Amino acid sequence: MLLKILLGFLCGVVALAAENDTAQQGPPALLLVSFDGFRADYLKRFPMPNLKLLYTQGVLVEQLTNVFITKTFPNHYSLVTGLYAESHGILASNMYDPVSHKHFHINNDTDPMWWNKAQPLWVTALDSGYKTGAVMWPGSDVIISNRTATHFMSYNPAVTFQQRLRNVTNWMLGDGKEPGVKFAALYWEEPDRSGHLFGPDNTTAMGEVLKEVDDNIGLLISELKETGLWGRTNILITSDHGMAQCSAERLIRLDGCLHPDNYTLIDLSPVTALIPNKDPEAVFTLLNECHPHMTAYLKKAIPDRLHYRNNEWIQPIILIADEGWTIVQRGNKLPRLGDHGYDNSLSSMHPFLVAAGPSFRQGYRISRLESVDVYPLMCHLLSVNPRPNNGTLTQARCMLAAETCWDVPLMIGLVVGVLLMLSIITVLFRALSQRRASGPRPFQRLQVDDDDDDDPLLE
């Protein structure tokens, strides 16, 4: 009897120790990887065996609806903050602050003023006691909320993907004494760079670069397996935007509409931002009538759906080119064969999302997800309290293995189908009942009761 009590006590101690150890370890580590400019339909157009291996073991979001404008810096900051560009403040590749008269450019971007309207996950997770890391992710080398990630690498295109990945896995493994990084973000500039050079419709060139991208994903899988991080790390592979094909026949020249003395140019791209130097209404009228494939907006009239109006760094007039059209000041030179920045409702601007790891369902697909929903998903995976954001976990929750998620359209269809069937049965039943009631009655013999004792009329 004493032996049984002792064994029970020891089992309890072991179980408690294991529980405490699990609690100390916390949730699985999370690795976020972005392949810049990876258009969603590349998955259908080009063979990607390593990426396919990941999403067959996890979740594939076929199209991620990104934020406007569909540029690299705004969308990468949206992924790690869950905010629209007007909320987090990184509005474009080039910005101007009319108060401080400071200029922002992607090659001159380390002033915290531009980034401090929001707090990225690599900073927020520090408050949960986690170490974090970021490799060349836009903004990761900037001091935000007086902090940086525990480890970070500034952008350097000479550093190979394998070298970047090796730094990440070393951070995640730790030194054996201290726990490793719990959240890491890794950036790679392809296929965006090649998409600009060759255009997304160049099947040969894009096929080669996407093979390299898929080989890098194979390296990632191998590295995680060799280091023992595979199976205890949640992986998100995604992108910031897609890519549209451009041509010299689709140029919009601003000088053909108004003299450059009339405005100060802040950003020139498929979405152009400028400040009128003279009568704003007159400048706007000229730009509004400039070209049938370009739409001009006064700041106050920018559509609500773009979430691109409520910020002091949005310029008084913005111009949005139609898909595949390029805005230039003058001349006939096409800057790029492929470009992005266009309206985020266009499928060509949408990236994808693949999720795999111990927290995710296997072989599951979602047709669409908002990119601002990635942030609350990551906070949930890390058990981190999210900062205020524009995303929601409602749809992304369906990706998780521990969640019971109903397919809402399917359920609505089933309910409607059942109600319709019940209605049909009810109508048929009533019709049959009415038919029986109105038809000829069958012959019945009249029954005569000979017992008159109970007749009240007889005395």
263 in the same domain as 199? no
**Residue 135 contacts residue 154 (beta carbons within 8 Å):** no
pLDDT at 441: 52
Averaged pLDDT for residues 292-316: 98
Q: Which of 302, 335, 368 is the last residue of a domain?
A: 335
Same domain, yes or no, for 132 and 57? Answer: yes
The string over 372-382, giving b where at least 16 C-beta atoms fall within 10 Å of a residue's C-beta and e elsewhere, is bbbbbbbbbbb
- Better-scored residue on pLDDT, 176 or 292: 292
- The number of folded domains in the chain is 2
The neighbour count for residue 70, using CB atoms within 10 Å, is 29
Answer whether residue 64 shows pLDDT above 80: yes
pLDDT at 169 over 60: yes
Strands 103-105 and 131-135: unpaired
Token pair, residue 389, equals 């954001």
Of the pLDDT bands very low, low, confident and very high (cuts 50, 70, 90), residue 77 is: very high
pLDDT score of 411: 58
At 458 the pLDDT is 32
Q: Give the Cβ contact number of residue 418 at 10 Å.
A: 10
**Are both 301 and 366 inside the same structural domain?**
no
pLDDT tens digits, residue range 400-458?
Answer: 999 877 655 555 776 677 778 787 887 777 777 766 655 555 545 544 444 444 443 33
Which of 22, 56, 70, 72 is labelled catalytic?
72
| Cβ neighbours for 193, distance < 8 A, ≥ 6 positions apart | 36, 37
For residues 326 and 337, give the distance between their C-alpha atoms in angstroms, rounded to a whole number.
Answer: 10
Q: Over range 26-42, report the average pLDDT.
A: 97
Is the pLDDT at 149 greater than 90? The verdict is yes
Residue 56 falls in the annotated catalytic set: no
Considering the domain architecture, whether residues 73 and 112 belong to the same structural domain is answered as yes
Using alpha carbons only, give the angle 37, 336, 292 rounded to the nearest 5 degrees. Answer: 100
Give pLDDT, residue 45: 97
What whole-number distance in Å separates Cα of residue 395 and Cα of residue 414? 20
Q: Residue 335 CA to chain centroid, in angstroms?
A: 28
Domain assignment present for residue 56? The answer is yes
Judge whether 445 lies within some domain.
Answer: no
Residue 143 maps to a domain:
yes
* Domain closes at, from 274, 306, 335: 335
Q: In this structure, are residues 180 and 173 in contact, taking their beta carbons and an 8 Å threshold?
A: yes
Structure tokens of 268? Answer: 């020139």
Q: Give yes or no for residue 209 having a pLDDT over 90.
A: yes
Per-residue pLDDT at 454: 42
- pLDDT tens, position by position, 265-298: 999 999 999 999 989 999 999 999 999 999 999 9
Residue 336, C-beta contacts closer than 8 angstroms, at least 6 positions apart = 196, 197, 246, 326
**Sequence-ordered alpha helix ranges (H) in 363-456:** 374-382, 408-438
CATH number at residue 146: 3.40.720.10
3-state secondary structure of 415: helix
Task: Name the 3-class secondary structure at 118.
Answer: coil
219-252 pLDDT per residue, tens: 999 999 999 999 999 999 999 999 999 999 999 9
Q: Cβ contacts of residue 441 below 8 Å, gap of 6+? A: none
Q: What confidence score (pLDDT) does residue 425 get?
A: 83
What pLDDT score does 443 carry?
45
CATH code (residue 279): 3.30.1360.180
State both tokens at 227.
């280091």
Q: What does the pLDDT look like over 22-31, one tens digit per residue?
A: 344 689 999 9
Q: Which domain holds residue 310?
A: 251-335
The predicted model scores a pTM of 0.85
